[in-house]
Amino acid sequence: MMGEGKNVSKKWEKYSIEGDKLVRKNIFCPKPECGPGVFLARHKDRMTCGKCGYNHVENASSEEE
Ligand SMILES: [Zn+2]
Ligand 1 centroid, distance to 1 Cα (angstroms): 39
Q: Quote the pTM value.
A: 0.49
Q: What is the pLDDT of residue 24?
A: 57
Please return the burial class of 54, using the count of CB atoms within 10 Å of its CB with bins 0-12, 13-18 and 19+: middle
Q: What is the phi/psi pair of residue 40, to 5°?
A: -85, 140
SS3 at position 12: helix
Per-residue pLDDT reduced to its tens digit, 1-56: 666 666 655 555 666 667 877 665 668 899 999 988 888 888 888 889 999 999 98
Q: What is the pLDDT of residue 53?
A: 95
Contact 41, 50 (CB under 8 A): yes
Which residues are placed with Cβ below 5 angstroms of ligand 1, an ion? 29, 31, 34, 49, 51-52, 54
Beta bridge mates, 20: none
Q: What is the pLDDT of residue 20?
A: 77
Q: What is the pLDDT of residue 56?
A: 85
Question: Minimal CA–CA distance to 54: which of 45, 63, 41?
Answer: 41
